[in-house]
A and B are shown apart, each in its own frame.
Chain A
Amino acid sequence: MSLRAEMHAAIDEVAPPAPTLASRVEAFVLADEMDRSARPYRGRPVAMPFRGMVAVLAAALVVVLMAGFVLSGRIWRDWNNWANRPTPINHTLLKQLEARPLSLPIIATGAGCPLGPLVQTPHSSGMGPLSYGDGLGPVYSEGSGQRYVTSWGTYILTSYVVVPNYSGLILIRARDLQTNQVLVFADYPLFDNFHPGMPTGEMVGTDQLFDRPVQRYTELAIQPQNMFRDPAGWWPTAMMLQGFPTGASGCIGFQVDGADFTEQFVVSY
């Protein structure tokens, strides 16, 4: 028997006649054809011709959104800066306050420091219910306990708190009551762009704190409108640096002047 004959015999055993196969295949194929005709767009994405246009529109939308974010961010920043801009200082009034003479006493070396007055501040002042404030108001002072010593001298982080019903310009000046050296004021460098108070008067030197420059001034001007106001209703607060040079006694007399008041108190650092 030839291989061809063997092949026929072997395969015919597993290839029974299928007389209806042609008609079944025809029905299967034509049914699929009819199904596809009934749904001409089956499998064809309708948006295919518009895919490029949609992609361009999507890209344009992304660009517009990004530009919108940038623009709105700038607008928000500008508006925020405008809304939170510091109230300009009335320089005429400042000059008038600066013109007031300092009437701080001079005490002899070795004499006791005439501290006070010291009052317990209400909780809503922002200094805490158990804190004490130097002064009789409307301005109180409270040292934070943070001291920074440099080759020049000592800086103390100090808060000034103003009663809420006062809104005018306030000038603060201070002297060491034994050495008559000027107490200097400076911005707290870690506040960056926040300036709750404005050191003014004469700039008497610079220093470095936290690797940032510190400029020393002889006076401090504050306005409640520009001071920190906690949403909880705390009193307007300005946290500033104040310093005295090495060799000062640390017995510091303060004179606080407003349009309609003058306040004095003495603190020992």
Chain B
Amino acid sequence: MSATQPRSEQAFVDLFAPLVEPGYRLACAMLHDPQAAEDAVQEASLIAWRKLGRLHDRSRLRAWYLGIVANECRNARRRRWATSVISQLPAGLSVISSEERIVTGTDLRRALRQLPHDDRLVVVLYFYLDMPLTEVAAVAGGTVGAVRARLYRAVRRLRPDLVIEESLE
């Protein structure tokens, strides 16, 4: 199907229905807000549907779609930051404070929020969506080497005392 071909409900289901769930998970991981994540996925799906004709390599559909979701998450965070007070980490609380510290889910999410958008994106794509580096690179934009370097750097900032067990292959 191209941009000039008639679009149908079935076409949308065939192309995007399988992508909505990973898109939602990505948005949740980026925003930590289910409602905002649903909104981001909805907007991203609309954009993708409208611009589908520009995508010539359908094998890249998943990466392309998740890239749009990631961009919508960036925009959502900008909008949210512009209209609300940023919740700062309390003084003395840091995910790098102690090796013996039990890192809870809340702490990890806080640490994730402290990462720059691009760093957080590669971490989420790789560790949460379990995507290979090649696809992470396709979503985030860049080479595999650059993504690997960004991933190491992000993990070091996230958990400086952590021994990275994954091979990052």
Interface residues of A (CB under 8 A from B): 2-4, 6-11, 13-16, 18, 21-22, 24-26, 28-30, 32-33
- Known interface pairs A11-B28, A15-B24, A26-B13; A32-B46 also in contact (CB < 8 Å): yes
Q: Are B165 and A7 in contact (CB under 8 A)?
A: no
Q: How far is the CB of B140 from chain A (nearest CB, A)?
A: 16
Q: CB within 8 A of B38: which of A9, A11, A18, A29?
A: A18
B123 touches A30 (CB 8 A): no
B49 touches A3 (CB 8 A): no
Which chain B residue has the least Cβ–Cβ distance from A28? B42
B153 within 8 A of A: no
Check B166 for interface membership: any CB of A closer than 8 A: yes
**Neighbouring B residues of A4 by C-beta, 8 Å:** 127-128, 130, 166
In the complex, A201 Cα to B96 Cα: how many Å? 114
Q: Roughly how many angstroms separate A21 CA and B22 CA in the complex, as a whole number?
A: 11
B residues apposed to A, CB below 8 Å? 7, 9, 12-13, 16-17, 20-21, 24-25, 28-29, 32-34, 37-38, 41-42, 45-46, 49, 103-106, 108-109, 112, 123-124, 127-128, 130, 155, 158-159, 162, 164-166
Given A11-B109, A15-B25, A15-B34, list of 11 further CB < 8 A pairs? A3-B162, A4-B128, A6-B105, A7-B127, A10-B105, A10-B106, A11-B105, A22-B17, A25-B45, A30-B9, A33-B7
Top 9 closest pairs, chain A to chain B, by CB: A15-B28, A10-B105, A10-B108, A22-B20, A7-B127, A11-B29, A25-B45, A4-B127, A14-B32
Q: Is the CB of A10 within 8 A of B109?
A: yes
Query: Chain B residues with Cβ under 8 A from A16's Cβ?
Result: 34
* Closest Cβ–Cβ distance, residue A42 to chain B (whole Å): 13
Select one of A3, A13, A26, A30 contacting B159, CB under 8 A.
A3
Bound together, the chains give a CA A239 to CA B127 distance in angstroms of 103
Number of A-B contacts (CB under 8 A): 93
Cβ distance A36 to chain B, nearest Cβ, rounded Å: 9
* Closest Cβ–Cβ distance, residue B88 to chain A (whole Å): 19
A38 to chain B, nearest CB (A): 14
Contact B28 A3 (CB under 8 A): no
Residue of A nearest to B103 (CB): A6
Residue of A nearest to B49 (CB): A29
Partner of B29, one of A15, A22, A29: A15
Would you call the interface of chain B mostly helix, strand, loop, or mixed? helix
Are A11 and B20 interface neighbours, CB within 8 A?
no
Residues of B within 8 A of A21 (CB): 20-21, 24, 38, 41
Q: In the complex, A28 Cα to B45 Cα: how many Å?
A: 9
A11 to B24, CA, bound (A): 12
Q: Is the beta-carbon distance between B42 and A25 smaller than 8 angstroms?
A: yes
Note all chain B residues with C-beta closer than 8 A to A25. Answer: 16, 20, 41-42, 45
Q: Which residue in chain B gives the minimum CB-CB distance to A5?
A: B127
A7 touches B123 (CB 8 A): yes
Which chain B positions have C-beta within 8 A of A15?
A: 24-25, 28-29, 34, 37
B86 to chain A, nearest CB (A): 17
**Residue numbers in B under 8 Å from A14 (CB-CB):** 28, 32-34, 109
Q: Which of chain A's residues has its CB closest to B13's CB?
A: A26
Chain B residues lying within 8 Å of A3, measured Cβ to Cβ, are 127, 155, 158-159, 162, 164-166
Known: A2-B166, A15-B24, A18-B34. A7 touches B45 (CB 8 A): no
| A33 x B49 contact (CB < 8 A) | yes
Of the A-B pairs whose beta carbons lie under 8 Å apart in the complex, a sample of 30, sorted by A's number, is: A2-B166, A3-B159, A3-B162, A3-B164, A3-B165, A3-B166, A4-B127, A4-B130, A7-B29, A7-B108, A7-B127, A10-B105, A10-B106, A10-B112, A11-B105, A13-B105, A13-B109, A15-B34, A18-B21, A18-B24, A21-B21, A22-B17, A22-B21, A26-B16, A28-B42, A28-B45, A29-B16, A29-B42, A29-B49, A33-B49
Q: How far is the CA of A4 from the CA of B162 in the complex (A)?
A: 12
Residues in chain B near residue A6, CB distance under 8 A: 103, 105, 108
Contact status A29-B166, CB under 8 Å: no
